[in-house]
Structure 1
């Protein structure tokens, strides 16, 4: 054996912390989706991620910490989609279907993600409930800002309308997915948006500011 070979011990590839964290969350999603929270094991999550348990515990002290981090990432993604929909156009008539569509796409895109938010069986845990509540409150906040600015309403009235739009979008999207409807995603979004627009868009048109 050469001196060079002797001086080159086998080392494990180390990912940057953010990349490793994303890898662990992806593995955790698969395990939680397959087994549920209570039956999920940290051993299996580490195995799915291809890391040792000590590495997993370096990032997440326990299973609940991992679950909450994953839940928070899903909430962030939903809120990002809602804000992107609102920012996609200045035409309020188009904002409504864009926003409704954001909920439909989120629900239809990753069943495990939306179930963790809207159907979590850990709502008795304060940190879980806080994350679940943020999925609605942050979406409502984003829509409230837009309605207040563009429809000329005060914040209380704008917030009430925003809550209605978020509730309508969430419930309609979940119902559509759960019932394997013959209605296409596009038609379902259009129907839901028409209902919302007749109340919000037609009743509170854009106020032109000088």
Structure 2
């Protein structure tokens, strides 16, 4: 009669789990991809593209190299995935800023602010876009140029709505406004000698007062 109790007390056999090469445990594919991109970004920002190593990226992501290569065949694939993300994000920020108000003066200020928001990200994504040591790579250069063109187009529309300038001249001013905003935002991020709000106000004032020197549409304000 004691055997059933003995059987219930018997220790369960240990089951060996095969090594999948994933030190961080199983994750859905999308979550694993996001984890790998986050690790890759930190390595690229710290070392630059050419000095970054796939071993270091795998280590920071807490996965084995085979797992990393399952998602991204090479280092350039990782970098392009990040570039795709951020060169899409910045124009979206600019368009969202412009759409936040119908007042064109405030639209210009909001667009300038979008660049400051982008460079102030904690992950320093702007370094991959604007300060990359891979800008000579055609695939990277094309994406960065397209991003700049989309930002300039968004600002150009504001200028065309507010002035009587031809489209070509409006576009040139849009490019100038975007270029100024990007360069000054990056400079401010490095130096931070004045508060961000003051830096944005100064750049916005410079941009708007410069644009105010051009002939306005009859329905436009004069501020």
TM-score range, shorter chain: 0.7 to 0.9
Residue 33 (structure 1) aligned with residue 45 (structure 2): yes
**1:146 CA drift (Å):** 3.7
Hey, what does 2:73 align to over in structure 1?
61
Hey, what does 2:3 align to over in structure 1?
none
Residue 115 (structure 1) aligned with residue 123 (structure 2): no
The structure carrying a bigger helix percent of its residues is 1
Partners of 2:100 and 2:164 in 1: how far apart?
Answer: 20
Matches within 5 A, 1:96-175: 96-110=108-122, 112-149=124-161, 151=163, 153-175=165-187
Partners of 1:117 and 1:151 in 2: how far apart?
Answer: 32
Partners of 1:190 and 1:86 in 2: how far apart?
Answer: 16
Larger Rg over CA atoms: 2
Change (3 A) 1:111 1:59: closer
Hey, what does 2:35 align to over in structure 1?
23
Change (3 A) 1:204 1:197: farther
Hey, what does 2:8 align to over in structure 1?
none
Structure 2: segments with no counterpart, 5+ residues: 1-10
Partners of 1:41 and 1:152 in 2: how far apart?
Answer: 53
**1:207 CA drift (Å):** 6.1
Partners of 1:19 and 1:208 in 2: how far apart?
Answer: 51
Hey, what does 2:214 align to over in structure 1?
203
Change (3 A) 1:207 1:139: farther
Partners of 2:123 and 2:218 in 1: how far apart?
Answer: 38
What SS does the corresponding residue of 1:37 show, helix, strand or coil? coil
How many correspondences in the alignment? 206
TM-score (norm 2): 0.81
Q: Deviations over 1:28-61 (max 9, x none)?
A: 0111122222221111111211222122112211
RMSD: 2.6
